[in-house]
Amino acid sequence: MTLYELIEKHEGRRYKTYKCSANADTIGVGHNLVNGLPADIEAYYKKNKKITDEMVDRLLEADVRQAVADCRVLFPEYDRFSEARRMALADFVFQLGFTRARKFIHSIACINTGRWEKAGEQMRKSAWATTQTPARAKEIIEMIEVG
């Protein structure tokens, strides 16, 4: 499974706006509309009240690039982590966004010192894992712990 497939499995693919688990207006594969749309996609959406597969893919590509860039800020050794851990952390940051993800201070500290199980333990205590998206969190935490 690729990172794109993992994120799409968790987010789904939608051509019209919807409310995500955080109650934000969203489109495509988890693209938060607070972040706006490129002008051509916005114009197409305003005219057709939906977007195309190609547009969904473009938004996803840009959002994944941003999530990976954010991971490199939060986790300086990110590129040295196993593929499973990189995918899990990118999915986590993709879902929460940089601002919310960086609040996982203890988990980030554990990850940055290679204490994977302790990081998972910390993450399990969060609202993200207990009430917001528990099934997704369980999968991501297991990927982080096992590597």
Question: pLDDT, tens digit, for every residue of 127-144?
Answer: 999 999 999 999 999 999
Average pLDDT on 31-45 reads: 95
64 CB burial (10 A radius; 0-12, 13-18, 19+): buried
Question: Residue 27: what pLDDT?
Answer: 97
Average pLDDT on 37-61 reads: 97
The parent domain of residue 88 ranges over 3-146
For the segment 64-101, what is each residue's pLDDT rounded down to a tens digit? 999 999 999 999 999 999 999 999 999 999 999 999 99
- The model carries a pTM of 0.94
Number of domains in the chain: 1
Q: Which residue has the tokens 């554990």?
A: 110
Question: Residue 77: what pLDDT?
Answer: 98
Farthest CA pair distance, the chain: 50
The domain that contains 113 carries what CATH number?
1.10.530.40
SS3 37: coil
